[in-house]
Structure 1
Amino acid sequence: GHIAHHEAGAIESSGHKVVTLKPENGKLKAETLKAYLADYWADDTHEHIVQPGMVYISSPTELGTVYTKAELSALHNVCREYNIPLYLDGARLGYGFASKDNDLTLADLSRVTDIFYIGGTKVGALFGEAIVFNGDKGLDQDFRSLIKQNGAMLAKGRILGIQFEELFKDNLYFDISRKAVEQAERIKKAFLSKGYKLWIDSPTNQQFPILPKDAINKLKEKFAFLIWPDTGEPKLITRFCTSWATKDEDVDKLIDEINKL
């Protein structure tokens, strides 16, 4: 995930440490979290080990999977048991809501997390995200001061608010997110129709076909997509992403090239 492997070590540079736990299909399971926290506090030498202070997850995940209401509730219960907040990175939240696997609403999300954010820049906003603090837990104490201390206070913050006001008018946020997922499903079907397998069956705007290198080289001539690190295998995992701005004609061109492979 971004918090551990990207952003140039931003969390560590702020004086904290990221401890990663083994996921399942990109998602942190409540049992995994419970076992880690129980082991930490049962260790007589835990004062020498980094103390867990918050749980950070992303939905959709880096693998395009989404957390269900039951999964988030289970995680939240563990967090409450150990008195640490549950934070959900919602950079791609709109695409998660548009997923066929989604059973959450924004109201649900406010009940099963302590803090989450509504991604703006990945779903049509020019800049900014909307951070939501749930309940009266004091987690937002001094937040505006912390923003200023880190050089992130916008001089014209109302512009940020206007964007979200417009995105949430007439269901626009959800409609344009749904369009991206529909485009991704078209791409997925095209790869499957050609006999290519998927690394993971993502229900969101990220798709992960496993392709031979000659097919990758042909598609790279006309399209931009991510290639997983080369392990020396004859086939590699790729990642194709759609967005709110993906046009029908662009997907048509990609599908046409896939059919020629």
Structure 2
Amino acid sequence: MPSTSLCQEETCTPYSLMDDYSEGAHPQILEALLRTNSTQQVSYGGDEYSNAARQLIREKINCTGDEADIFFVPSGTSANLISIASCLRPYEAVITLDSGHIACKEAGAIEATGHKLIVVPAVDGKMTPTYLQKAIQQNQFFPHMAKPRLLYLSNASETGTVYTKCELSSLAAICKNASLLLLMDGARLGTALCSTKNDMTLRDIFDLTDIFWIGGTKAGALMGEAIVVKKDLAEGFVFHLKQHGALLAKGRTLGVQFVELFRSGLFFALASHANHMARKISACFESLGYPLAADTETNQVFVVLPELLVRRLQERFRFYIWEQRDDEQAVVRIVTSWATDEVQVDKFNAWVQQWTASKELATE
């Protein structure tokens, strides 16, 4: 896997384990953008590269053009917003987890389109049949309540956990029985598919959802997400792209990137690298007795650390304080990426081991 970061000395800027989009793009993608730069192409996603990318993605899913349309958008927020806006009437609502990206990380983008969010608790970062059924049953006082119409999930979840085929099948069955559509946010779908906990193929996900999208931004692309829409929901979808400012004149730039991600397995190789780096960090914490706040199933590590250790690590590494437990402990989130340097991971683990063994921490 690539090691693109510069040598990180103690006096340099702290190395980022904050997210999986701090780096730009994989060199292979940048080279492809340069190589194709001077060719003249049809605009707005009708170019040869976007068409080739659609075909490659369909081949990975094992579906045909008669089954699904594929649309490229620049960001995850636009993917969620457009997917939901395209298939809901103004009085229809979205069921989501309280930790769902659309609930707490997208500045009310869904509510701004006039759709209510019905928020339920997460269990291990995921939706459960029990909570889904309860949300449906508690929102049936029509026409005085917004009508549940769509279930929103993320895979991997916001805490890095992965849906199994059995779990997704159970949720899909409830949705079908209640006439709900099922949307899967795939910002980190690559890491989910490459997780040791995963037992699903892209075809399984296609069969069990109505719309899902494949994240490129967090998977080595410069930017871009690919929305996979079943044919019966695809009519007029492009108008929603245009109205929401996501139909790029130079749509070729997205197509080129997804061709590179999928023509040779790069998408899966980069996701596997991110997962491997997270497992190394997680294993180190566990070996030293630090409790994990969530199972490390993909490229996110959630661990409970003493406040002093958090401060010491922040001198050399950047990461996110997920939850301040009290004055003495915090849950931190560490995210690895397609480009995370294994040398830096080894340094991080070495510092954790050194400070854990030090008298300073031992006396806290």
Q: Same fold by TM-score, threshold 0.5 exceeded? A: yes
Q: 5+ residue gaps in structure 2?
A: 1-99, 356-364
1:78-126, CA deviations, whole angstroms, 9 ceiling, x for partnerless residues?
A: 1111112100000000000111100011111111111000000000111
Higher mean C-alpha deviation, range 166-175 or range 116-125? 166-175
Query: Counterparts in 2 of 1:70-219, with a 5 A limit?
Result: 70-134=166-230, 136-137=231-232, 139-219=233-313
Question: What TM-score does the superposition give when structure 2 sets the normalisation length?
Answer: 0.68
Higher strand share: 2
Gaps spanning 5+ residues in structure 1: where?
none
Q: How many pairs are equivalent?
A: 256
Q: Write the mapping of 1:202-241 to structure 2, written as runs, cut at 5 A.
A: 202-241=296-335
Per the alignment, in what secondary structure is the counterpart of residue 199 of structure 1? strand
In 1, distance between residues paired with 2:200 and 2:222? 26
Question: What code does the residue aligned with 1:62 have?
Answer: E
Kindly state the Cα deviation for residue 38 of structure 1 after the two structures are TM-superposed: 3.0
> 2:263 & 2:270 partners in 1: Cα distance?
12
SS in 1 for 2:318: coil
Q: Name the residue aligned to 2:82.
A: none
Match of 1:24 in 2: 123
159-168 or 213-222: bigger deviation: 159-168
Q: Distance in 1 between matches of 2:330 and 2:323?
A: 8
Contact 2:184 2:212 in 1 (8 A): yes
What amino acid maps onto 1:184 in structure 2? Answer: A
Name 2:108's counterpart in structure 1.
Answer: 9
- Taking the aligned partners of 2:257 and 2:247, their CA distance within structure 1 comes to 16
In 2, distance between residues paired with 1:169 and 1:16? 38
Question: By how many angstroms is 1:230 displaced?
Answer: 2.3
The structure whose Rg is larger is: 2
Decide which moves more: 234-243 or 46-55: 46-55
Please tell me the residue identity of whatever aligns with 2:332: T
CA RMSD of aligned residues (A): 1.3
Higher relative contact order (CA 8 A, sep 6+): 2
Contact 2:307-2:327 at 8 Å conserved across structures:
no
Q: Is the 2:191–2:298 contact (alpha carbons within 8 Å) kept by the matching residues of 1?
A: yes
Offset at residue 233 of structure 1 (A): 4.6
- Could you report, residue by residue, the CA deviation over 1:188-210 in whole angstroms, capped at 9, with x for unpaired residues? 11111222111111211000110
Which residue is 2:87 aligned to? none
